[in-house]
Structure 1
Amino acid sequence: MAMKVEISITLRQRIIDHARSSQMEVCGLLLGEGGRITVVEQCANVSSAPATRFELDPAALIAAWRAARSGGHQVIGHYHSHPTGDSRPSPTDAADAAPDGAIWIIVGTNEVAAWRAVDRGALHGRFDPVDLVVAA
């Protein structure tokens, strides 16, 4: 049985709009609790090759972790786009991913999908699919 993650239609659309705003890969943080995304925070892609890779701005990630430790929303994962690809993690994504259980939402050319970074995952040995439940 696949894990489920809930996101509002508004937050899902915010991710899609961010992805469609650039020909480069975009990225951001997913904040919330457990299996529910309650905040989406856009971040700068600081990769040296943003057309094909993403790297979250470390300052934004550190600030989110600090806020979580102070009682703010928990960092449960992140999102990024594949402007000319599909919504499955690439082999590069798998090589860069830690098996920490983080949720990865990927916006492809025509779809959005969610994944969980795990040890010995079904895809590339690193990712298991996650059911993305869109709520009104």
Structure 2
Amino acid sequence: MELRISRVALDEILSAAAASPGAEICGLLFGRTSARGVVVTGLRPCANVAANPRDSFEVDPAALIAAHRAARAGGPALVGHYHSHPGGSPDPSARDAAAAEPGGYWIIAGGGTLRAWYADGRQADGRGRFRAVTIVEADNR
């Protein structure tokens, strides 16, 4: 399983994470499914409205509602989201696992690097409800 995404989008996520060392950043991923996974065609930074953004994130509900409405009206599909772990690793945390709904892709920035995950709802690999996904740079943005 892979997540195809442009270098420009990856750099945008890394830059936003680096610019916010004291709080998690977050945003939405838009795209389409392919035979191998998902092609990310766009991303949208969002406000982190979590009560404690230092170690958690919550995408602004208004942004989520707007994304779902736009998709229903023929806009790009919401395929997942991204967030950062300031001072941490790009691996899902216990909090991430508790919040993950099956079927979405996650990109996590941590330690100056990115990793992609698919929330599949299983607990088999010790990473909570996530399966690692290969990031493939693509010119798709």
Same fold (TM over 0.5): yes
Which one of the candidate residues 3, 6, 10 is aligned to 2:4? 6
Aligned positions of 1:5-84 closer than 5 A? 5-22=3-20, 23-34=22-33, 35-84=38-87
RMSD: 1.0
Cα offset for 1:123?
Answer: 3.6
Q: Which is richer in strand?
A: 1
Count of equivalent residues: 133
Cα offset for 1:125?
Answer: 3.1
2:17 counterpart SS class: helix
Matched, 1:116 2:115: no
Cα offset for 1:40?
Answer: 0.8
Give the alignment's TM-score, normalised by structure 2. Answer: 0.91
Unaligned stretches of 5+ residues in structure 2: none
Distance 1:60 1:128 in 2: 26
- Where does structure 1 differ by over 3 angstroms across 4 or more consecutive aligned residues? none
Whether the 8 Å CA contact 1:15–1:40 is kept in 2: the answer is no
Between the two proteins, what is the percent identity of the paired residues?
A: 48
The one-letter amino acid of 2:120's match is: V
Cα offset for 1:43?
Answer: 0.2
Unaligned stretches of 5+ residues in structure 1: none
Matched, 1:105 2:104: no
